[in-house]
Structure 1
Amino acid sequence: MTTSHIRPSAAGTVGWPPEMVRRYVAAGYWDGQTLTAPVVAAAAATPEAVALVDGAVRFSYHELAARVDGAALRLRGLGLRPDDRVLVQLPNGWEFIVLTLACLRLGVIPVLALTPHRHHEMSYLAEHAEVRAIAVPARFRGFDHRGMAHDIARAVPTVQRVLVSAGEPDIGAVGATADRAAAVDVDLRALCRPADDVPAARTLLDAAAPDSRAVALMVLSGGTTGLPKLIARTHDDYGCHARRTAEISQFGRDTVYLAVLPMAHSMSLGMLLATLRSGGRVIVASSPAPVTALGLVERERVTATAVVPAIAQSWLNHQEADPRHDLRSVRLLLVGGARLPDQVAERMVPTLTRNLQQGYGMAEGLVCLTRIGDPDDVTTRSQGRPICADDEIILVDEDGRRVPPGEPGVLLTRGPCTPRGYYRAAEHNACAFVGDGWLWTGDIVRIRDDGNVVVEGRDKDMINRGGEKVSAEEVENLAYQVDGVGFAAAVAMPDPDLGELVCLYVVPRDGARVTLADVRSVMESAGVARFKWPERLELVGALPRTNIGKIDKKALRSEVAARLAAEVDRSTPAP
């Protein structure tokens, strides 16, 4: 097949100014190492220590490093070279870890997608990043990911390989069929075998290590303007994130980290790399369900994990109702991805952990964490402070004016972990980055006198569904494809488990009948991830407007919240 020109990643990125580079190097934030160098060092220092547990699979550091090097050399044998991109859509498991580390080791750039993504999102990512290969499970939770990958390969000329991990038991043979395959199938598990000659492989790959300033990986933005933006993270800046996370969380060789959240999320990947660079052990959870996850905590003597508030609350409720699991090994529980209610935070210690750590951050770079030893008022009522002293944050009003100390405002940030622009998104960058490289996050926060951040809300048009960010604009654009929709507005509605769900307001055209099933059918046909589907449809005669004519989303959010509260009141039996 013919292959279009592969644009070097540097052509689509926005670098830090030279004076900032010198400042971050001098301060030690950027240490010149690749992301895999500390893992290789850990393998040399403690080769027999257990690095990874995934069900019956238990890899020592020696075997993990040997598999990473073997996969890196086999990727090279497939024709992949530094700066080529691989779209990775794999569930949590040892294959994700080995393949991602192998890409980082070789200088190939993994573009990290989520398993709920479908053709709508995946085809965009493959085309935008000009990927050379797509890594997928054959099937996962009943969906044919391999078939989707080949559909995309037929449409995106750069895609030459589909790396397929063995899927669910009913999948049958993994081999490509002539009528479906537009790219060559590669057995991912075979690709991830240990190197045939481990010392030679290590020597070769050490000598060809990528530059630490080069793009290491691409993660996805939360996205408020349609499909997610790609964030190009370098070895230096993401290494700073992982190293400071490990230091603040006091990770070491005795750390046993439970990977519950999708590893493709920046928070989860950062904790994973923080564990491996420290010589600790990663335990893969097949499910966040309390019985499964807390059973693993007890069996593997887990010391640390990271979850979103919905998972934390389900674990808390389960353990309070039936404290059968021995969780005394848990030294640190990080909760992030959304605001943890203060009242729930106060119940975490000692039921689930000895130390609660709250976090606030974004794939764009900034990470705030509370510290072990902080007063209870900090760990239960704030989301922490920046992990680097040179992470700069300022708060402004909607007109860009600084707000008085202690007052809430929109957070702007820049620093050693925050890239200065999205990948190949010059038009969007002109709006998202203001002044001298300040990222306008859209999050409304307050900074306490002690420097800790308290998340108050957002000015972004975004729905945070259990930590998964849903663009209201993307939902609305799809809703307009439904026959009979005159006007559409997607807003967040409160949910006790996931925090927020998607509510779609629709003004039907004259005489039209629009149902929630109609909207979901269009989204399913478009191959849209299910977490973006609306859970509620409100049909109205008109949408409220602000004084300047914009749809008043604040009024709609208040209205649906009031309706939900009234419905709960009506369903509650009288005493």
Structure 2
Amino acid sequence: MTDVLANGFSRQSAEHYRQLGVWNGDTHWKLFRRTVTARPHALAAIDGIRSLTWAELDAGVARAATILAHNGVRRGVKVIVQLPNSVAYLETIFALWRLGAVPVFALPAHGASDVRHFAMHAPATHYIGTSNPNRHLTRVQADLARPLPDGRTPTSILVNERADDPWARGTRRSPTRDCLPATPTPGAADDLAFLQLSGGTTGVPKQIPRTHDDYLYSVRASIDVCDLRADDVLLVALPASHNFTMSSPGILGAVQVGATIVFADSPMPTDVLPLIERHRVTHLALVPPALISLLNYPDRAVHDLHSVRTVWVGGAKLSETAARRVRPELGWNLQQVFGMAEGLVNYTPLEAGIEEIVSTQGRPMSPYDEILVVDDDDNEVPAGTPGNLLTRGPYTIRQYHRAPEVNARSFTGDGFYRTGDIVVFRDGTLTVVGRAKDQINRGGEKIAPEAVENVLLTHPAVHDVSVVGVPDDILGEKTRALVIPRENATSPLKPAALKKYVREQGLASFAVPDIIDIVEEFPFTGVGKVSKKDQAV
């Protein structure tokens, strides 16, 4: 037995959180089985093909676990999961937890080099993907069939998520339907539950080790500050394996309370709006670009959206301009969510005043979250002063998976995680100012990209904006704005006119973008965030 858990907590720290009652010995498999037992005939999950009760979903999980066990999946084995949003995704992850295996979550957008890195670094022995791959995933699966640098070739198990019985074909070895189900061998609460991926904007994603105890506490804490209940309907529009989608309060929150989970193919308005109307969706989570697309969608009014009570918006900072539009235009409660796959999650309270909801990114959801805001020398700054956010708590990891050099940079000696965010902490609320590496230094003048973005977003013909610094031989950096126009704009956007508009709004002259490019979309990272790195060219 080692003195440190997979998530970096010492056994002494783990015992401290157990004594506080925040770690209660729960596991993902116990969570699932409790809900199956309590609500067997309630509707559990819906996609474009199937609609299952909790008892039917449980049977599908047992079927999947049997097939996985026949393919060599067992307790402690790490398995890459790269599946689209579907009921089959739920069957897969709970089948793995039934066997005590460790999912390694990959998004459908991850490429061949990413997936091979996950297979090597985890290390993973199996890969579960779709038997209906697009061209991108066909390349991923073909590349993974080649031996890894260490000579291993992970076993690929392909699932037909579009079929009534996803596990009937496409698997490496599919036992008969009459085969006895594999015996459950779930892991312990302090075992490694899964490896998730960091949401950084540069480099290969780091792998984040989560135990059952720490992660399920974060789910329970989310439920405490959100209004998701048993008779509600959660729409899963963002990629299912994303941390935001999984736990804030997300898929696992819905399992916790027994709510119905509806899977959408994408967060685009054409996918989301009909599902809200058809299934009387009460809750959904969106990233800011998806929310803005919905707000600006010209045919939104033809759909009945009155069933929605709350939209959670996170993954990146939501501009105040867009936040102010949610209640008047959609009639929905807005909860901003500022969090990270490494741990800390903040919500704006449902009962908060409008100014807090639109202009802050929330309050730490747990009374045991520790917040430090420091300068570049790790000295605490006065309240209300921007600084670097450091955090520690019962669900914030204290090390990345097998990454000692990264850990030395990312964590303090006493276990605080260096988030890389610049924030203002005042009266218990956090307001995100930017990322430490996002600040633009233009000839010695410091420019916060968000300030420029907020001004451009007030232009009636602008749909979305992303501002970055680009190298310049004279100034060091220039400011570049990528602007997506609204579809129904009455006249085409002109860079010169936009610069004039920014000047007229009173922004400092040095903050007026040097370069404005009109684009159709932003480049995105593998985890679905806007890629600042790919814009700064």
TM class, shorter-chain normalised? 0.7 to 0.9
Letter aligned with residue 231 of structure 1: I
CA distance in 1, matches of 2:201, 2:499: 36
Deviation at 1:387, TM superposition (A): 1.4
2:523 matched to which residue of 1? none
Indicate conservation of the 8 Å contact 1:10/1:215, yes or no. no
Letter aligned with residue 331 of structure 1: R
The answer to whether 1:257 aligns with 2:234 is yes
CA distance in 2, matches of 1:497, 1:24: 45
CA distance in 2, matches of 1:54, 1:429: 39
CA deviation vs aligned residue, 1:424-455 (integer Å, no higher than 9, x gap): 00011011101301111110011122x11111
Deviation at 1:153, TM superposition (A): 3.4
1:513 matched to which residue of 2? none
For the residue of structure 2 that corresponds to 1:115, the secondary structure is coil
**Distance 1:277-1:195 versus aligned 2 partners, 3 A rule:** farther
1:281 matched to which residue of 2? 260
**Distance 1:167-1:104 versus aligned 2 partners, 3 A rule:** closer
CA distance in 2, matches of 1:273, 1:232: 17
CA distance in 2, matches of 1:9, 1:130: 19
CA deviation vs aligned residue, 1:361-408 (integer Å, no higher than 9, x gap): 001011111222122122111111111111111101112111111111
| Length-normalised TM-score, structure 2 | 0.80
Indicate conservation of the 8 Å contact 1:71/1:195, yes or no. no
2:129 matched to which residue of 1? 136
Q: Which moved more, 1:418-427 or 1:283-292?
A: 283-292
2:504 matched to which residue of 1? none
Letter aligned with residue 47 of structure 1: P
| Structure 1 residues 460-475: aligned runs within 5 Å | 460=437
1:302 matched to which residue of 2? 281
The answer to whether 1:395 aligns with 2:395 is no
CA distance in 2, matches of 1:29, 1:255: 26
The answer to whether 1:364 aligns with 2:358 is no
| Structure 1 residues 119-268: aligned runs within 5 Å | 119-143=112-136, 145-156=137-148, 157-166=151-160, 186=171, 204-205=183-184, 208-223=185-200, 226-268=203-245
For the residue of structure 2 that corresponds to 1:111, the secondary structure is strand
Indicate conservation of the 8 Å contact 2:7/2:399, yes or no. yes
CA distance in 2, matches of 1:562, 1:277: 41
CA distance in 1, matches of 2:114, 2:468: 18
For the residue of structure 1 that corresponds to 2:145, the secondary structure is helix
**Distance 1:141-1:80 versus aligned 2 partners, 3 A rule:** closer
CA distance in 2, matches of 1:9, 1:86: 23
Aligned partner (choices 29, 40, 61) of residue 47 of structure 1: 40
CA deviation vs aligned residue, 1:72-117 (integer Å, no higher than 9, x gap): 2322222222111111111111122211121122211111112121
CA distance in 2, matches of 1:153, 1:89: 15
1:21 matched to which residue of 2? 14
The answer to whether 1:339 aligns with 2:314 is no
CA deviation vs aligned residue, 1:500-542 (integer Å, no higher than 9, x gap): 378865xxxxxxxxxxxxxxxxxxxxxxxxxxxxxxxxxx6x3
Indicate conservation of the 8 Å contact 2:87/2:161, yes or no. no
The answer to whether 1:91 aligns with 2:84 is yes
CA distance in 1, matches of 2:30, 2:138: 32
Identity, % of aligned pairs? 34
The answer to whether 1:500 aligns with 2:466 is yes
2:527 matched to which residue of 1? none
Q: Which moved more, 1:146-155 or 1:359-368?
A: 146-155
CA distance in 2, matches of 1:387, 1:19: 23
1:404 matched to which residue of 2? 382
Indicate conservation of the 8 Å contact 2:93/2:103, yes or no. yes
RMSD of aligned Cα (Å)? 3.3
CA distance in 2, matches of 1:228, 1:370: 28
Indicate conservation of the 8 Å contact 1:31/1:236, yes or no. yes
**Distance 1:564-1:75 versus aligned 2 partners, 3 A rule:** closer
**Distance 1:440-1:122 versus aligned 2 partners, 3 A rule:** same
For the residue of structure 2 that corresponds to 1:423, the secondary structure is coil
1:68 matched to which residue of 2? 61
Indicate conservation of the 8 Å contact 1:35/1:104, yes or no. yes
Letter aligned with residue 269 of structure 2: P
CA distance in 2, matches of 1:147, 1:10: 41
Q: Which moved more, 1:559-568 or 1:397-406?
A: 559-568
| Length-normalised TM-score, structure 1 | 0.75
Alignment gaps of 5+ in structure 1: 1-7, 176-184, 464-490, 506-539, 546-554
Indicate conservation of the 8 Å contact 1:244/1:388, yes or no. yes
Indicate conservation of the 8 Å contact 1:64/1:98, yes or no. yes
CA deviation vs aligned residue, 1:258-291 (integer Å, no higher than 9, x gap): 0000011100011111001211000001232213
**Distance 1:353-1:109 versus aligned 2 partners, 3 A rule:** farther
Deviation at 1:22, TM superposition (A): 2.2
For the residue of structure 2 that corresponds to 1:81, the secondary structure is coil
2:495 matched to which residue of 1? 568
Alignment gaps of 5+ in structure 2: 441-448, 486-492, 502-537
CA distance in 1, matches of 2:305, 2:293: 15
CA distance in 2, matches of 1:12, 1:433: 16
1:437 matched to which residue of 2? 415
Deviation at 1:240, TM superposition (A): 0.9
Letter aligned with residue 346 of structure 1: R
**Distance 1:373-1:56 versus aligned 2 partners, 3 A rule:** same
CA distance in 1, matches of 2:264, 2:45: 11
CA distance in 1, matches of 2:178, 2:324: 49
Letter aligned with residue 186 of structure 1: T
Aligned partner (choices 431, 440, 443) of residue 454 of structure 1: 431
Deviation at 1:309, TM superposition (A): 0.9
**Distance 1:58-1:11 versus aligned 2 partners, 3 A rule:** same
Higher helix share: 1
For the residue of structure 1 that corresponds to 2:64, the secondary structure is helix
Letter aligned with residue 157 of structure 2: L
2:107 matched to which residue of 1? 114
Indicate conservation of the 8 Å contact 1:69/1:194, yes or no. no
Question: When the two structures are aligned, how many residues end up with a matched partner?
Answer: 470
CA distance in 2, matches of 1:10, 1:76: 31
Deviation at 1:37, TM superposition (A): 1.4
CA distance in 1, matches of 2:83, 2:15: 37
CA distance in 2, matches of 1:323, 1:427: 52
Deviation at 1:168, TM superposition (A): 8.9
Indicate conservation of the 8 Å contact 2:463/2:483, yes or no. no
CA distance in 2, matches of 1:140, 1:441: 35
CA distance in 2, matches of 1:25, 1:398: 34
**Distance 1:419-1:162 versus aligned 2 partners, 3 A rule:** same
